[in-house]
Every structure is written in structure tokens, then in C-alpha cells.
Amino acid sequence: MTDRRTNFRKHAPDHAVHDVGGLDFGPIDRAEHEQSYYEKRVDALMMLMAGQQVFRIDALRRMIEDYAQQEYDGTGYYDRWIKALRNLLVEREVLTRDEIEARIAALRSRLAAEGRAVDPGAVE
């Protein structure tokens, strides 16, 4: 992790990992970017889960807030979502961890067989 991210927390040991408002984090990066297809799919998955009342957005937030600091700081916004979604699907007994792992392995081999790149950070 960058020093900037870890250092500013030293003055806020009681803060939850996400609760960084008002801490000296330096200037905010306000640059906009096009959402990737992956990001849109993660968002859609969350909307579907909430719509089916598998869990609420509150549970997603709780799961993300419980990440260890290094995991939280080192993970992109939608990567935090997909990790939480995966854990919540297991927690709610919609899927087992084995089923998820098996599906990921199957998709990996299919992509490899087709000679397509696998985004290493997208699902792990």
C-alpha cells in the first residue's frame, strides 16, 4: 500500500476502515472515467441481489467495512463490491464457496482455451 494511505490512519486508530472523512488524505482525485463492462456487471449483480431480497445494500456495506485495512485500501471500488457479493452469497447460502470456485475455474479454462485474457484482479 502507498505510504500516504497507511500513514494518515495513524492519527485515527478508532476509525472504522471506511470511515476516513476529515482525515488528511490529500487532494481528492475528481477525474471521471468510463465505467467498464466489468464494473457495470458488478453493479447489476448487486441490484439483482437486492431486488431478490437476498440481502440489502446495508449488508454489502457491512461486509466491506469489515475488511482489514490493507484489503480495503488495496482494493478498487467495484472489486470491494464483488468480494463482498461473493461472501454474502455464501453467507446467505445461495451458493457454496466450492460452487463459486468451480465456476471460476471453468470460466478460466474456457477463456484460456479461447486464447482470451483473464483479468487476474476481477474475481479473486
Partner 1 sequence: MTAPACPPPRFSPGCAVRVADRAVSGHCRTPFYLRGRPGTVVAVAGRYLDPGKLAYHNPGLPAQYLYRVRFAQTALWNAAAETGGETGGETGHATDADALLADIFEPWLEPAEKDASP
Sheet strands (E) in 37-83: none
Rounded to whole angstroms, the Cα distance separating 103 from 40 reads 20
Contacting residue, 59, 90, 94, 100, with partner 1 by CB under 8 A: 59
Site string for partner 1, 12-51 (x = CB under 8 A): x-xxx--x-xx-----------------------------
The CB-of-23 to partner 1 minimum distance in angstroms stands at: 8
- The torsion angles phi and psi of 19, rounded to 5 degrees, stand at -90, 75
Q: Is 73 a residue that touches partner 1 (CB under 8 A)?
A: no
Buried b (16+ CB within 10 A) or exposed e, 30-52: eeeeeeeeebeebeeebeebeee
- Which is closer to partner 1, CB of 60 or CB of 82? 60
For partner 1, the binding residues (CB under 8 A) are 12, 14-16, 19, 21-22, 55-56, 58-59, 61-62, 65, 92
